Amino acid sequence: MTRPDLNLLVTLDVLLQEGNVTRAGERLNLSPSAMSRALARLRVTTGDPLLVRAGRGLVPTPHALELRERVGQLVQEAEAVLGPPETVDLAGLVRTFTLRTSDGFVESFGPDLISRVFMKAPGVRLRFMQKVKKDAASLRDGTADLEIGVVEETNEVRTEPLFTDRFVGVIRLGHPLSRARITPVRYASGSHIRVSRRGVERGAIDDALKPYGMERQIAVIVGDFGAALALARTSDLIATVPEQHTRSLRADLHTFALPIPTPEVTVSMLWHPRLEVDPAHRWLRACVRSVCTANDVGATSMSN
């Protein structure tokens, strides 16, 4: 059995709307002869003349009148299927989004994001996962809908920069280091907390000290910024952490600009291409973007 040419549905829809070969051809950007050939094919396919001459014009047959509404509906449904997704009904949206985030994101940005999401979509649930490994496997296998962090891998994923972050020093209130100007020598001579999920002893801060011929003394190695700040809060240890990611965790601590130049890091959101045009996911990305942009103030005011 020969399968019908489904492209003829659009042609039939326009012909039945216009009732005129010339006008239908103009709408479809086809010549009158091409439209006449299309009408001939439609007559063969449907087994009905569809449009017959009456005086100087054409009138639809009874079968054409029966088809007109059905064909128009079919074309509209096909356009909806093949077109981009429509906007989502946020008030009625029931869905769980899993966000894989870097250390400190939930504490610093979570409250604003939750408020923004729940205000528009009360049926949405947010699930935050700690970013343990620097790979995109969870985006590929669907265990995470969105990832926030420093881009390590871009294969197969979409990325969008959110803000830049810089490292700052953090000590307890009343710490001896805060009583005078913090120089590279005074900074390096203190006892430091190193943050490393993998337990690595040296990192970007240590590399930044090398041109000065100095090396900081690492007293403790911890796996996350929250632990580093907890130790700094109750000791004379110095924590060096990203400014924006830890701003809500440093409220009762003394924060200072590092006396050495260190590279800034770009924090991005990442997602799998299969969610690129999903309207609910686009809305979620807009919420994250708005929250991060509102809080991207470059440099938070710091104690001197």
pLDDT in the model for residue 297:
46
Q: Which residue bears the tokens 């924060």?
A: 255
pLDDT in the model for residue 303:
43
pLDDT in tens, 268-291: 999 999 899 899 999 999 999 999
DSSP state of 84: P
Residues 269 and 54: their CA atoms lie apart, in Å, by 64
Instruction: Write down all domains in the chain, each with its CATH number in brackets.
Output: 7-82 (1.10.10.10), 90-165+266-295 (3.40.190.10), 167-263 (3.40.190.10)
Residue 146, CA distances (Å) to 123, 159, 290 in order:
18, 10, 15
Task: State the pLDDT confidence band at 185, using cuts at 50, 70 and 90.
Answer: very high
Residue 263 has pLDDT above 60, yes or no: yes
- Looking at per-residue pLDDT, the higher value among 219 and 22 belongs to 219
User: Is the pTM here over 0.85, yes or no?
Assistant: no
What percent of the chain is predicted at pLDDT more than 70? 92
The residues, any chain, with a CB within 8 Å of residue 210's CB and separated by 6 or more, are: none
Residue 204 has pLDDT above 80, yes or no: yes
Long-range CB contacts (< 8 A, 24+ apart) of 178-183? 178/254, 178/256, 178/303, 182/256, 182/259, 183/259
pLDDT in tens, 26-70: 888 988 888 889 889 889 888 889 888 887 788 888 898 888 888
Residues 233 and 300: their CA atoms lie apart, in Å, by 19
Cβ atoms 262, 234 nearer than 8 A: no
pLDDT in the model for residue 109:
94
Give me the chain's average pLDDT, please. 87
Q: How many CA atoms lie within 13 A of 174 on its CB side?
A: 3
DSSP state of 181: -
Q: 253, 285, 167: which is closest to 216 by C-alpha?
A: 167
pLDDT in the model for residue 298:
43
Q: Which residue bears the tokens 């799998």?
A: 272
Tell me whether strands 191-195 and 217-222 are parallel, antiparallel or unpaired: parallel
Q: In the chain, which residue ranges form alpha helices assigned H by DSSP? A: 7-18, 21-28, 32-46, 62-82, 105-120, 137-141, 184-189, 204-209, 225-233, 279-295
236-241-246-247 Cα dihedral, nearest 10 degrees:
80
pLDDT in the model for residue 85:
65
